Amino acid sequence: RNELIARYIKLRTGKTRTRKQVSSHIQVLARRKLREIQAKLKVDHAAKEKALQTMSSMSSAQIVSATAMHSKSAGLSLGLTPPVSYTGASSYPAGKPATAVSAGDVGPLQTAPPPVWEGRAIATHKLRLVEYSAFMESQNRDEAAVDVRQIYDKFPEKKGGLKELYDKGPQNAFFLVKFWADLNSNIQDEAGAFYGVTSSYESNENMTITCSTKVCSFGKQVVEKVETEYARYENGRFVYRIHRSPMCEYMINFIHKLKHLPEKYMMNSVLENFTILQVVSNRDTQETLLCTAYVFEVSTSEHGAQHHIYRLVKD
């Protein structure tokens, strides 16, 4: 039974729960249900004694499902919403009550179930805290700027190159990302792994965008991938999503060869001459919307991949 419940939770929420976790949660629900029934039965002492005597011989699962207490006669009905989240912090409960508990001959009495997160999060029945974070943010943009001329030689100089694009503008659309790549994957069968890229953009304008990604080696273009994406209107803005776009064979082979180099300084030596230029433009007007230049090193941190964003300027 617990395995079936765990499978249901996995299908509905994507979260994995063990049989022990399911059993523990059923016991919590059973105790809560007992307290609710006891509160409702205070009006009738005889019915209370009868109901408690019946429930004393039931398991936690039986109390929750109420199969052993099912009766054709009208009784006390208490709704129970199926468990949606065990943490109580990820989603609100949805749907109608799924099961009912009947208790003796007490007159019909309806009550709404408490919210599923109550008692397990910072929340009341009116408001629930979803996220809270403390952070420091620097407002000095001058510290996060790089002169675009310092990286001209790392990208193509021909038509559509970084220099031509920057001169054309708008210059506030140009960025540099220094990316420290984590190559410490534990995948045994890398040949069967999927290598892909997902990106999303949003705008106040409805347009069709073109995303050009150029892989460059020693400042020369090796391969280019061009994708077109149409707008979807969501929550008052236009959203553009490129989901699980497969990497080209050149990139996959490059990653494989890079990972097999024996030392990180060798990897960094190769990456010093490897760059990516990504240009997002309006398909109809050819206006540059965003241009991002990527340069790479191998991450030496225990925290995996990291990055830093700079604004490209010309002083």
Please give the order of strands across the beta sheet that includes 208-217.
Answer: 145-147, 306-313, 174-181, 288-298, 274-282, 208-217, 220-230
Portion of the chain with pLDDT greater than 70, in percent: 65
Q: Do residues 170 and 278 both lie within one domain?
A: yes
Q: Do residues 133 and 252 both lie within one domain?
A: yes
Q: Do residues 175 and 265 both lie within one domain?
A: yes
In a domain, residue 4? The reply is yes
In a domain, residue 51? The reply is no
In a domain, residue 53? The reply is no
Q: Do residues 212 and 305 both lie within one domain?
A: yes
What residue numbers bound the domain in which 275 lies?
123-313
Measure the CA–CA gap between 223 and 216, rounded to whole angstroms.
Answer: 7
Measure the CA–CA gap between 156 and 221, rounded to whole angstroms.
Answer: 6
In a domain, residue 280? The reply is yes
Q: Do residues 127 and 33 both lie within one domain?
A: no
Measure the CA–CA gap between 161 and 167, rounded to whole angstroms.
Answer: 10
Q: Do residues 135 and 38 both lie within one domain?
A: no
Question: Would the pLDDT of 107 be above 60?
Answer: no
Tens of pLDDT, residues 168-196:
989 999 999 999 998 877 666 666 788 99
Contacts with 226 (C-beta within 8 Å, 6 or more apart), sequence order: 210, 211, 212, 213
Specify the amino acid at residue 95. G
> Rounded mean pLDDT of the chain?
77
- Pairwise pLDDT comparison (146 vs 12), residue with the higher score: 146
Write the CA distances from 278 to 38, 48, 171, 198, 281, integer angstroms. 65, 71, 15, 13, 10
Q: How confident is the model at residue 117 (pLDDT cuts 50, 70, 90)?
A: low
Q: What is the mean pLDDT of residues 250-273?
A: 92
Torsion sign (Cα): 161, 166, 172, 175: positive
Domain count, the chain: 2
Query: What are residue 224's DSSP bridge partners?
Result: 214
Domain of residue 251, CATH code: 2.70.50.80
SS3 313: strand
Q: Do residues 36 and 176 both lie within one domain?
A: no
Measure the CA–CA gap between 91 and 82, rounded to whole angstroms.
Answer: 13
Question: Would the pLDDT of 89 be above 60?
Answer: no
